[in-house]
């Protein structure tokens, strides 16, 4: 009877057979998760990005020169504008972009005559595309 204690029991054989299956399931889940991340990366990269912005004050208001980068592919997907916002979220100015810029990246466009209240020392510039919407904020100090 002493030899029987060295023989694997039915329960221990079951535990041993499920362990490789669990390891395989974890490996498959890691691979699937990596694949999903890989697929999501291009979608995140398609957001328009403000690379630079310069503001100059004149008698008739502020002029903003904004440099935008976006992977424009044509009329079906392109950066279609950018906006200047006050810190409280008020829209101060909007520059519509009327055509794709597939071969001109990044590109800079200006907007003049923007009325910025005297007490505003910082603005946010955000680019927009016709598929994904708004890109990330670009904060610009005016004073």
Exposure on the CB side of residue 68, measured as CA atoms within 13 A: 32
Both 40 and 57 in a single domain? no
> What average pLDDT does this structure show over 77-84?
96
Residues pairing with 63 in the sheet: 56
Phi-psi region of 113 (alpha: psi -120 to 50; beta: other; left: phi over 0): left
CATH number reported for the structural domain that contains residue 85 in this entry = 2.60.40.730
Both 39 and 54 in a single domain? no
- pLDDT by residue (tens digit) across 9-42? 665 555 556 666 776 676 666 665 555 544 544 4
Both 62 and 36 in a single domain? no
**What range does the domain containing 31 cover?**
2-45
Q: How many residues does the chain have?
A: 143
Total count of domains within the chain? 2
Whether the pTM exceeds 0.75: the reply is: no
Classify residue 84 by burial, with Cβ atoms within 10 Å: 0-12, 13-18, 19+: buried
Residues pairing with 108 in the sheet: 67
> What average pLDDT does this structure show over 124-133?
96
Band of residue 84 on the pLDDT scale cut at 50, 70, 90: very high
Written as six digits, the tokens of 50 are 């403000």
Band of residue 102 on the pLDDT scale cut at 50, 70, 90: confident
Q: What is the model's pLDDT at position 140?
A: 97
Q: What is the model's pLDDT at position 27?
A: 66
For the chain, what is the mean pLDDT?
A: 83
Low-confidence winner among 13-17, 62-66, 109-113 (lowest mean pLDDT) = 13-17
> What average pLDDT does this structure show over 106-131?
96
Both 59 and 39 in a single domain? no
Rounded Cα gap, residues 76 and 117, in angstroms: 37
Q: What is the model's pLDDT at position 68?
A: 96
- Three-state SS string over 19-88 comes to HHHHHHHHHHHHHHHHHHHHHHHHHHHCCCEEEEEEEEEECCEEEEEEEEECCCCECCECEEEEEEECCC
Both 64 and 115 in a single domain? yes
Both 54 and 124 in a single domain? yes
């Amino acid at each position: 009877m002493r030899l029987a204690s060295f023989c694997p029991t039915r329960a221990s054989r079951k535990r041993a057979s499920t362990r490789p299956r669990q390891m395989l399931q974890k490996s498959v889940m890691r691979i699937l998760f990596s694949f999903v991340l890989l697929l999501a990366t291009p979608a995140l990269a398609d957001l328009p990005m403000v690379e630079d912005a310069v503001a100059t004050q004149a008698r008739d208001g502020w002029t903003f020169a904004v440099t935008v980068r976006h992977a424009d592919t044509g009329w079906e997907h392109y950066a279609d504008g950018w906006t200047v916002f006050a810190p409280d979220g008020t829209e101060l100015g909007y520059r519509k972009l009327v055509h794709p810029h597939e071969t001109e990246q990044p590109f800079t466009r200006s907007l003049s005559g923007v009325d910025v209240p005297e007490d505003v020392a910082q603005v946010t510039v955000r680019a927009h595309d016709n598929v994904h919407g708004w890109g990330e904020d670009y904060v610009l100090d005016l004073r």
